Amino acid sequence: MLNVLVPPTIERGANDSEVISSAPLGLVTMECQARGSPPLQISWLRDGLPLPLSQRVRLLSTGRTLRISPAQDSDTGIYTCVASSRAGVAERSFILQIQEPPALEPSESSEAVTAVTDSAVTFICAASGSPLPTLTWLKDGEPLTLQNNLVPNGPGTRLSLESVQLADAGVYSCVAGNEAGEVRKHFHLSVVEPPRIEDLAQPTEVAAAIGAPLELLCTTAGVPAPSVTWEKDGRLLAGPGIVARNGSALRIESVQADDAGLYTCLAASPAGEDGRSFWVKTQAPAHIGGSGETRSVTALASGQLSLECPAVTDPPPRIEWHRGGSLLQEDARVRFLAQGRFLQIQALGVPDSGEYSCTASHALGRTSQHFHVEIHTAPEIKPGPLAVSAAVNESVLLPCASEGRPTPQLTWRKDGLLLLPAGNPRLELLSDGSLRIDPVQVQDTGHYLCVASSPAGSDRRGLDLRVSVLPAIAPGPSNLTLTAHSPASLACEATGLPKPHVTWKKNGHLLNVDLPRSPYRLLSSGSLLIASPSLQDTAQFECIVRNPAGETRRLIAVAVRVPPTIADDRTDFTATRMSPAVLTCYASGVPAPAVSWSKDGAQLGNRGSGYRVSPTGALEISRALPIHAGRYTCTARNAAGVAHKHLLLTVQESPVVKPLPSMVQVRVNAGVVLPCEASGIPRPVVTWQKEGISIPAGAGFKVLPNGHLHLSRASVEDAGVYLCVAQNPSGTALGKTRLIVQVPPVIEAGRPELSILEGSQVLLPCAARGVPEPRLTWSKDGVPLPGREGKFTLLPSGELMLKDSQGGDAGTYTCTAENSAGKATLQLQLSVHVPPAFTEQPRDRMLKRGERLILGCMAKGNPMPRITWTVNNKPARAGIWEQSGQSTLQREAVTKEDSGTYACVAENGVGSVKAMAFVYVKEAPVLRGEVSAYQVEPLGGNALLNCEAHSDPAPVIHWNKNGLPVVGSPHLRQLQNGSLAIYGTVSDDAGRYKCVAENEVGTVEKVVTLALRSAPVFSVKPQDVAVSAGERAMLHCQAAGEPAPTVEWTRE
202 or 169: which leads in pLDDT: 169
Q: Are residues 1042 and 938 in the same domain?
A: yes
Q: Are residues 1013 and 935 in the same domain?
A: yes
Mean pLDDT of 883-900: 88
The C-alpha atoms of residue 643 and residue 656 are separated, in whole angstroms, by: 42
Least confident of 279-283, 408-412, 674-678, 869-873: 279-283
Q: Are residues 912 and 940 in the same domain?
A: no
- Quote the percentage of the chain above a pLDDT of 70: 96
Domain boundary residue among 504, 534, 562?
562
* Helix-, strand-, coil-residue percentages of the chain, each rounded to 5: 5, 60, 40
Strand ranges, E, within 567-638? 572-576, 581-583, 587-590, 594-599, 602-604, 607-608, 611-613, 619-621, 630-638
Residue 368 buriedness (CB in 10 A; 0-12 / 13-18 / 19+): middle
Please, what is the average pLDDT of the chain? 86
pLDDT at 68: 94
Give residue 739's region: left, alpha or beta (phi > 0; psi -120 to 50). Answer: beta
The C-alpha atoms of residue 101 and residue 132 are separated, in whole angstroms, by: 9
pLDDT band, very low/low/confident/very high, at 856 (cuts 50, 70, 90): very high
pLDDT at 470: 84
The C-alpha atoms of residue 457 and residue 277 are separated, in whole angstroms, by: 13
The answer to the question of residue 104 being in a domain is no
The identity of residue 458, as a single letter, is S
pTM of structure: 0.30
271 or 173: which leads in pLDDT: 173
pLDDT at 291: 47
pLDDT in tens, 835-849: 888 899 999 998 888
Mean pLDDT of 224-237: 84
pLDDT in tens, 461-508: 889 888 888 888 889 898 988 888 889 899 999 888 888 899 999 999
pLDDT at 70: 92
Q: Are residues 606 and 685 in the same domain?
A: no
Strand ranges, E, within 691-821? 693-694, 701-703, 709-711, 720-728, 731-747, 753-757, 762-764, 768-771, 775-780, 783-784, 792-794, 800-802, 811-819
pLDDT at 701: 87
Q: Are residues 495 and 553 in the same domain?
A: yes
Which residues on neighbouring strands pair with residue 32, listed in sequence order? none
The answer to the question of residue 381 being in a domain is no
Answer whether 316's CB lies under 8 Å from 339's CB: yes
SS3 716: helix
| Of the candidates 72, 60, 69, 62, the residue with the CA atom closest to the CA atom of residue 39 | 62
Radius of gyration, CA atoms only, the chain = 64
Question: Looking at the chain, how many residues does it have?
Answer: 1052
Q: Are residues 1049 and 955 in the same domain?
A: yes
Answer whether 869's CB lies under 8 Å from 896's CB: no
The C-alpha atoms of residue 450 and residue 444 are separated, in whole angstroms, by: 15
Residue 422, C-beta contacts closer than 8 angstroms, at least 6 positions apart:
none
Mean pLDDT of 54-76: 89
| Of the candidates 111, 109, 108, 132, the residue with the CA atom closest to the CA atom of residue 123 | 111
The answer to the question of residue 257 being in a domain is yes
pLDDT at 325: 84
pLDDT band, very low/low/confident/very high, at 543 (cuts 50, 70, 90): very high
pLDDT at residue 902 above 90? yes
- Quote the percentage of the chain above a pLDDT of 90: 17
pLDDT at residue 778 above 90? no
CA 373 vs CA 295, 297, 347: distances in Å: 8, 5, 15
Which residues on neighbouring strands pair with residue 405, listed in sequence order? 377
CATH number of the domain encompassing residue 77: 2.60.40.10
The answer to the question of residue 1049 being in a domain is yes
Answer whether 583's CB lies under 8 Å from 619's CB: yes
Residue 640, C-beta contacts closer than 8 angstroms, at least 6 positions apart:
483, 484, 561, 562, 563, 564, 589, 590, 591
Torsion of Cα atoms, 964 then 967 then 972 then 977, to 10°: 90
Residue 626 phi, psi dihedral angles, 5° rounding: -55, -30
**How many domains does the chain divide into?**
11
Mean pLDDT of 990-1005: 91
Q: How, if at all, do strands 409-414 and 402-405 pair? A: unpaired
Q: Are residues 1002 and 1046 in the same domain?
A: yes
CA 34 vs CA 8, 11, 60, 91: distances in Å: 7, 7, 14, 9
Mean pLDDT of 353-381: 84
Domain boundary residue among 901, 923, 945?
923
Cis peptide before 744 (omega within 30 of 0): no
Mean pLDDT of 138-151: 73
Mean pLDDT of 877-894: 87
Q: Are residues 952 and 1040 in the same domain?
A: yes
431-457 as b/e: b if 16+ CB within 10 A: eebbbebeebeeebbeebbbbbbbebb
Which residues on neighbouring strands pair with residue 945, listed in sequence order? 980
Mean pLDDT of 40-52: 87
pLDDT at 287: 45
Residue 461 phi, psi dihedral angles, 5° rounding: -150, 135
Answer whether 96's CB lies under 8 Å from 46's CB: no
Q: How, if at all, do strands 602-604 and 594-599 pair? A: antiparallel
The answer to the question of residue 883 being in a domain is yes
Mean pLDDT of 794-823: 85
pLDDT at 286: 43
Q: Are residues 720 and 811 in the same domain?
A: no
Give me the DSSP letters along 798-846. Answer: SPEEE-S--GGG-EEEEEEEEETTEEEEEEEEEEEEEEEEEEE----EE
Q: What is the DSSP letter of 525?
A: T
CA 952 vs CA 849, 921, 975: distances in Å: 10, 8, 19
pLDDT at 938: 86
For residue 354, give its domain range.
Answer: 285-376
The answer to the question of residue 760 being in a domain is yes
Q: What is the DSSP letter of 233?
A: T
pLDDT band, very low/low/confident/very high, at 548 (cuts 50, 70, 90): confident
Cis peptide before 7 (omega within 30 of 0): no
The answer to the question of residue 1 being in a domain is no
532-549 as b/e: b if 16+ CB within 10 A: ebeeebeeebbbbbbbee
Q: Are residues 494 and 557 in the same domain?
A: yes
Q: How, if at all, do strands 170-178 and 134-139 pair? A: antiparallel
Q: Are residues 541 and 440 in the same domain?
A: no
Domain boundary residue among 870, 893, 923?
923
pLDDT band, very low/low/confident/very high, at 868 (cuts 50, 70, 90): very high
Mean pLDDT of 679-701: 85
How many Cα atoms are found within 13 Å in the side-chain-facing hemisphere of 563? 12
The C-alpha atoms of residue 997 and residue 986 are separated, in whole angstroms, by: 26
Mean pLDDT of 567-578: 83
Q: Are residues 531 and 629 in the same domain?
A: no
pLDDT in tens, 290-301: 446 888 888 888
The answer to the question of residue 292 being in a domain is yes
CA 691 vs CA 19, 97, 597, 712: distances in Å: 96, 89, 48, 19
Answer whether 543's CB lies under 8 Å from 502's CB: yes
Answer whether 47's CB lies under 8 Å from 78's CB: yes
698 or 727: which leads in pLDDT: 727
